[in-house]
């Protein structure tokens, strides 16, 4: 395991957010620096794998963005240009993403290099066609995924969050973890984000909310 991340406490869980083909090089919504080759000389995969295999966590959870075809977060559904802001049928403001992580497609699968065998649980999110879910805990309509209850039943009091994307799903998952009462850290060295400015804003927002961000 990398030595720059402090060891996890006994009642801690690791949440690995959306390390899926569509968010990595060659994917529909490739996030820069997420691939194993980037940032030079390596990307987040070896770090995430090291944490999963040797981080000393009591539980390891993977989240998986898993949308039905025609999902409300797709530009093709919203009828606005890519990355513009549209409005869902439920009336929510929504960033228009390329079609991505469609259930049953290769893009929705975990990156083949991810040590998925070390996961105790997999939480799928964004499965409701009408609501997006950057968070692994609950969607934009307020429906819980069950992650909070799973962690609480296991006696977890602290969570570390890693994965993709720092400025979207990692941020939202960490904020909800904190709101659910878990002592929450974001391990930036094992995260990749969409845009530099967004990452800086996300770090500020996380810290203001009481989440510990480890550089
Ligand atoms: C994500 C945009 C759309 C993420 C998921 O994993 O950060 N971003 N769906
Ligand atoms: Zn998505």
pLDDT for position 37? 47
Per the DSSP assignment, residues forming a β-bridge with 49 are: none
Structure tokens, 81: 């240009």
ipTM above 0.90, yes or no: yes
CB atoms within 10 A of CB 183: 17
How long, in residues, is the chain?
A: 215
Q: Is the CB of residue 173 less than 8 Å from the CB of residue 179?
A: no
According to DSSP, the β-strands at 93-95 and 85-87 are antiparallel
Tell me: the pLDDT tens digits for 106-139? 999 999 999 999 999 999 999 999 999 999 999 9
Residue 85's beta-bridge partner residues? 95
Residue numbers annotated as active site: 18, 125, 169
Q: Supply the DSSP string of 79-106, one letter for each residue.
A: TS-TTSEEE-TTS-EEE-BPS-SBTTSG
**Which is the closest atom of ligand 1 to the Cα of 20?**
6
Distance from Cα 103 to the centre of ligand 1, integer Å: 14
Distance CA 112, CA 24 (A): 11
Q: Model confidence over 11-23: pLDDT tens digits? A: 999 999 999 999 9
Query: What would the two tokens of residue 166 be?
Result: 């720092």
Task: Report the predicted TM-score, pTM, of the whole model to 2 decimal places.
Answer: 0.93
Task: Name every residue whose Cβ is closer than 8 Å to that of residue 141 and which is 6 or more positions away in sequence.
Answer: 90, 128, 130, 131
Q: Ligand 1, residue 132: give the atom nearest the CA.
A: 9
The whole-angstrom separation of Cα 159 and Cα 34 is: 21
Pick among 3.40.50.850, 3.40.190.10, 1.10.1740.110, 1.20.1370.20: CATH of 9-65+112-214: 3.40.50.850
């Amino acid at each position: 395991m990398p030595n720059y991340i402090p060891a996890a406490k006994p009642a801690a869980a690791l949440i690995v957010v959306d390390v899926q083909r569509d968010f990595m090089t060659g994917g529909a919504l490739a996030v820069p620096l997420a691939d194993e080759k980037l940032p030079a000389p390596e990307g987040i995969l070896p770090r995430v794998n090291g944490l999963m295999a040797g981080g000393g966590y009591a539980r390891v959870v993977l989240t998986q963005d898993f949308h039905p075809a025609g999902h409300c977060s797709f530009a093709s559904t919203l009828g606005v240009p890519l990355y513009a802001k549209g409005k869902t049928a439920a009336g929510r403001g929504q960033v228009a993403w390329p079609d991505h992580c469609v259930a049953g497609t290769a893009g929705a699968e975990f990156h083949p290099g991810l040590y998925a065998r070390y996961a105790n649980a997999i939480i799928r999110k964004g499965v409701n066609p009408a609501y997006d879910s950057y968070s692994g805990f609950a969607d934009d309509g307020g429906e819980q995924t069950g992650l909070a209850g799973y962690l609480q039943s296991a006696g977890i009091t602290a969570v570390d969050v890693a994965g993709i994307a720092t400025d979207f799903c990692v941020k939202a998952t960490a904020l909800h973890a904190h709101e659910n009462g878990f002592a929450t850290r974001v391990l930036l060295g094992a995260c990749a984000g969409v845009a530099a400015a967004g990452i800086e804003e996300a770090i500020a927002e996380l810290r203001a909310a009481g989440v510990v961000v480890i550089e």
